[in-house]
Structure 1
Amino acid sequence: MSTPRSTSWVRNLKRDKYLLLLFLPCLLYYLIFKYAPIFGIVIAFKDYNLYRGILESKWVGFKWFELFFQSPDFFSILKNTFLLGFYKLIFGFPAPIILALLLNEVRNSFLKRFVQTVSYLPHFISNVIVAGIITMFLSPRIGLVNNLLDLIGLERINFMVESSWFRTIYVSSDIWQHLGWGTIIYLAALSAVDPQQYEAARIDGANRWKQTLHITLPGIAPAIMVILILDIGRVLEIGFEKVFLLATPVVYSKADIISTYVYRVGLSEGRFSYATAIDLFMGIISFIFILSANGISRRVSGNSLW
C-alpha cells in the first residue's frame, strides 16, 4: 500500500512530466560532461600511463603537486592568472550594473532596445573572431588604433608584442564582449522593483540620483551579491581560448596563465598526471574562494547562494 508521501510524489511527477522532459537534456549534459569525468582526477595521484589505463597506473601520491609547487613557473603563472582574474573582476563586474542603471533611465523604448541589442551581440561572437578583430584593430601598420595615434602625432605601438599591454587588451576586450549579456540579468532584476516606490520617492522630493541610491540599488542587491560570489569563485578560471589566441611567447611573462600552462604540459608534452594535478589544485582554490565569498556575503548583507 502506497503512503501519502509517495502518492504525492507520483502525482507531482505526472503533473510536471513535460517540464521534466524539457529539463532532461540539461541533466544529461551535466551528468555526462561534468560529473562523469570527475573520476579522471584520480590520475593526479598516479603516474598515468596511456597504455595501462587509469586503474593499472602506478600510485605516486602527491608527487605531481610537489613538483608543481617547486617549479620555477609556479609563482609566475599563479600571479598572472590571479591578476588577470582580479582585474577582470574589478573592472568587468561593475560595467553591466552601470549599463543596466543607465538603460533603466532611458525613456525612449526604441533607443533602449537598440542599445541592448548592440551591446549583447558581441557575446555570441566566437573568441577566434574576437581575437582576429583585436589583432586587426591593434595592428602597428594598418590598425585603427595606431592610425588614430599617428593622426594626433603620437608614436605607433606594437600592442601585441608589448607584454605591458596584454592585461589591458584582454580585460577591455572581455568587458566589451560580455557587457550586454551581463546587463540582461540586472535589467530582469530591475523589472521586479515595485514602481510604487519610485512614485512615493518622487512625491517626497527625491531626485533621480536619490531614487537610484535608495530604491534601485537595494532592489537589485541580491542579484548583485549572487553574481559577485560566482565571479569571485571564477577569478582563477580565466578562459583558455582568448588568452591562447592573443598571447605569443614574447608576452608570456604577463600572459602565461594556468590554462595555457596546463595545455602545454598536458597535451603538448603528454604529462597528463602533472596537468591534472595543476587543474585540481586550481579547482580547490576556486572552491575556497567561493565558500569564503558566500560566507562573508551571508554575514554582511544576508544574501548568499546557500
Structure 2
Amino acid sequence: MSETTLSNTVKARRNSSSTLMRRVIKNRAIYLMILPGFLFFLIFKYVPMWGLIIAFQDYKPYLGMTGSRWVGMEHFQRLFEDPAFFQIFANTLILFGLNLLFFFPVPILLALMLNEVRHSMFKRTIQTLVYIPHFMSWVIIVSITFVMLSMDRGIINELLVAGGYTKINFLLSEAWFRPTYILQIIWREAGWGTIIYLAAMAAIDPQLYEAARMDGAGRFRQVWHITLPSVRSVIVILLILKIGSVLELGFEQVYLLLNSANRQVAEIFDTYVYTAGLKQGQYSFSTAVGFFKSIIGLVLVMGANRLAKKIGEEGIY
C-alpha cells in the first residue's frame, strides 16, 4: 500500500469517526434514553457470560475459576448420559408446544376483539382488568390455584360434587398438571401480551377500513384482510422470540406446582438446574445444563429467523 493511499485511508477513518460523534451529539437525547436498557443487558446478560467457563471445569468456590481443574466436556457428557435427561427434555418440549399452541394465539385474538370495541370507557376498563393478573407474582397465582383446586373445600371440587361427580385431585395428578400450567399462563399473561399487538393495530391507516367498508366488507372481512396482514410482521417477530425461549419455561411457576406425584411430567430443565446447582452444589454441572439450553435457543432463533426471511418477512436481524 502506497503512502498516499495509507494517508487517504487514515483521513477517511477520522472523518467517519467525527461524523459518528456529531450524530451521537445531535441525537444525545435518544442515546440517553437507550442507556439504561443498554447497561441492564451489559451488566446482567453479557458480563455474566464469563461465568460460563465453569461449565468446562470442576468448579470449587474456594479455588475460583482460575484455580479449578479443567474437565472439558465431561459435564455435557454426563448430562446426555443421565437417564432423566430425555424425560426432562420431552417434558420441556411438550410444555413449550402446548404454550405455543394454546397461549400464543390468545393475546392476538384478545387484541383483535379489543380493537373492535368502539366505546372507549368500556375498552379501557376491559384492558385494565386483563392487565391486572400480570402484576401478581406466581406465588399468588399458584396459591389461588391451590385454593380453587384443593380436595378440601376447593371451589372446583365443590361444584363437581354438587353436580353429582366425584372429586378430582388436580394438584397431585399427572394428567391435570399440563392443563393447569397452560391455564395459569393464559390467565396471567394474555392481557399483558395484547399491548404490542394493540400498538401495531393503532398504527394502521384508518382509510384502509373506510375503503373496505365502501366496498361492502363487514367487520370480519376487515379484520381478515386489513388488520391481520398489517400486524403479521409483529406476530412473526414475537413468534421467533418465543421459539428462542423453547427451553426457558420459567422456574417459579413450575417449581411451585411440582410435587412427588407429578414430577414425571412436571420436571423441566429450570427445576433440574435448581436442584442440581443450588440444592446439591453442582455448580459446574448446572452451568453446563444452562449453557446447553442457551445453545438450543440460539440455534432455533437463527433457524426461525432464516425461515421468516424466506417467506418474505423481515425477521429480527
Scaled to the shorter chain, the TM-score interval is over 0.9
Residue identity matched to 2:65: I
Of 92, 112, 133 in structure 2, the residue corresponding to residue 81 of structure 1 is: 92
Of 274, 285, 294 in structure 1, the residue corresponding to residue 285 of structure 2 is: 274
**1:109 counterpart residue number:** 120
d(CA) in 2 for partners of 1:5, 1:301: 33
In the alignment, structure 2 segments of 5+ residues that lack a partner are 1-10
Using the size of structure 1 for normalisation, the TM-score is: 0.96
Could you report, residue by residue, the CA deviation over 1:239-278 in whole angstroms, capped at 9, with x for unpaired residues? 0011111111211001100010111111111111111111
Alpha carbons of structure 1 residues 193 and 18: separation in structure 2 relative to 1, 3 Å: closer
Task: Name the SS for the 1:249 alignment partner.
Answer: coil
**1:197 counterpart residue number:** 208
Task: Name the SS for the 2:83 alignment partner.
Answer: coil
Contact 2:236 2:313 in 1 (8 A): no
d(CA) in 2 for partners of 1:60, 1:149: 56
1:99 aligns with 2:110: yes
Q: Deviation at 1:3?
A: 4.8
Aligned positions, number? 306
d(CA) in 1 for partners of 2:15, 2:285: 53
**1:166 counterpart residue number:** 177
Q: Deviation at 1:303?
A: 2.9
d(CA) in 1 for partners of 2:187, 2:119: 23
Q: Deviation at 1:221?
A: 0.4
The answer to which of 131-140 and 255-264 deviates more is 131-140
Residue identity matched to 1:272: Y
Contact 2:133 2:187 in 1 (8 A): yes
Residue identity matched to 1:78: F
In the alignment, structure 1 segments of 5+ residues that lack a partner are none
Using the size of structure 2 for normalisation, the TM-score is: 0.93
| Greater C-alpha Rg | 2
**2:3 counterpart residue number:** none
d(CA) in 2 for partners of 1:54, 1:208: 62
Contact 1:89 1:235 in 2 (8 A): no
The 4+ residue runs of structure 1 with deviation greater than 6 A are none
1:17 aligns with 2:28: yes
**2:5 counterpart residue number:** none
d(CA) in 2 for partners of 1:114, 1:209: 24
Of 288, 295, 306 in structure 2, the residue corresponding to residue 295 of structure 1 is: 306
d(CA) in 1 for partners of 2:305, 2:236: 9
d(CA) in 2 for partners of 1:92, 1:235: 14
d(CA) in 1 for partners of 2:215, 2:34: 47
Q: Once superposed, what is the RMSD of the aligned Cα atoms?
A: 1.5
Amino-acid identity (%): 45
Q: Deviation at 1:205?
A: 1.1
Q: Deviation at 1:5?
A: 3.5
Alpha carbons of structure 1 residues 153 and 301: separation in structure 2 relative to 1, 3 Å: farther
d(CA) in 1 for partners of 2:315, 2:33: 28
Residue identity matched to 1:144: I
Of 222, 232, 246 in structure 1, the residue corresponding to residue 233 of structure 2 is: 222
Contact 2:88 2:268 in 1 (8 A): yes
Could you report, residue by residue, the CA deviation over 1:25-61 in whole angstroms, capped at 9, with x for unpaired residues? 2222211111111011111111111111111111111
